[in-house]
Structure 1
Amino acid sequence: MSQHTVILLLGSNLGDTKKNIETAIYRFNQEVGKITNFSEFLITEPVEFVSSNIFCNIALVIRTHFSPIQLLKHIKRIENEMGRKHDSSTLGLYTDRVIDIDIVKFDNLKFVSEKLEIPHQKHLFEREFSKIILKDFI
């Protein structure tokens, strides 16, 4: 089974945001793949929506044998089980969230489907906080 190198961006702006991210990291280590590197936590204002809740973010590099679609299914399950109620791709807008996990890069793959675009263009080229947190991984 081949191993893939994946860069993920995690964020939370509800509840104990750092603990939410630490829980997601633990779940990734147990269920998805080995974390090989991670950034420092970064505290940021919400982007593309208004909220008084501040985000805590982190970037992870993982090794996994899952395909992009399999990985997305695991991500959505973890988000749901951790209490994420709304998905921005379904709603068409951003809202506060317990956990948000985005696939930024997956090997050197270029992949586009209705639910997933790799590489994640907004994180790589548009969002300043993403550029800061991903600088050591891209």
Structure 2
Amino acid sequence: MSQQKVILLLGSNLGEQKKNLELALQKISEGGNNISQISEFLMSEPVEFASSNIFCNIAAIIFTHLSPIQLLDFIKDIEVEMGRSNDSKVSGGYADRIIDIDIITYNELNFISERLEIPHKKHLFEREFSRVLLKDFI
């Protein structure tokens, strides 16, 4: 399979947020994915849940050989490995998290399953911090 261009959005609002994001990017790279571009860090308020913990966010363009579902499984494994215990799809709501990695786009693919929707419409169209991070990528 050829390399696929993917935009990821990463966020953390627990612990050393920037280090969490850098570690997640390192793990993504170590998994055989090529990180071609990253945005600046952006601090933002939590969205769709209340917390006193501010988020640090970053966007990244990667090139991967993984299919969308393989990539989802890969990034979910990174989240668990880094200590994330709750998944909003499973729990039905958002909470503080050490790391969150979302697939925003995967080439020009439109894909919907129970576990994954590409493109990620909330980040593309509804969330202001996402639009700021993604403005140079899309």
Q: What is the TM-score normalised by the length of structure 1?
A: 0.99
Q: How does 1:61-80 map to 2 (within 5 A)?
A: 61-80=61-80
Contact kept? 1:32, 1:71, Cα under 8 Å:
no
Alignment match, 2:38: 38
Q: What is the TM-score normalised by the length of structure 2?
A: 0.99
Alignment match, 2:3: 3
- Counterpart secondary structure, 1:77: helix
Provide, for residues 83-117 of structure 1, a one-character-per-residue CA deviation record: whole Å limited to 9, x for no partner: 00100000110000000000000000000000000
1:25 aligns with 2:25: yes
Q: Which amino acid aligns with 2:11?
A: G
Moved over 2 A (4+): none
Alignment match, 1:95: 95
Indicate the percent of aligned positions where both proteins have the same amino acid. 64
Supply the RMSD in Å over aligned alpha carbons.
Answer: 0.5
Q: Which amino acid aligns with 1:53?
A: N
Q: 1:91 and 1:135 mapped to 2: Cα distance?
A: 30
Q: 2:74 and 2:29 mapped to 1: Cα distance?
A: 12
Alignment match, 1:49: 49
Alignment match, 2:85: 85
Q: 2:17 and 2:38 mapped to 1: Cα distance?
A: 17
Q: 2:69 and 2:29 mapped to 1: Cα distance?
A: 18
- Structure 2 unaligned blocks of 5 or more: none
Q: 2:7 and 2:13 mapped to 1: Cα distance?
A: 21
Alignment match, 1:128: 128
- Counterpart secondary structure, 1:21: helix
Following superposition, the deviation at residue 37 of structure 1 comes to 0.5
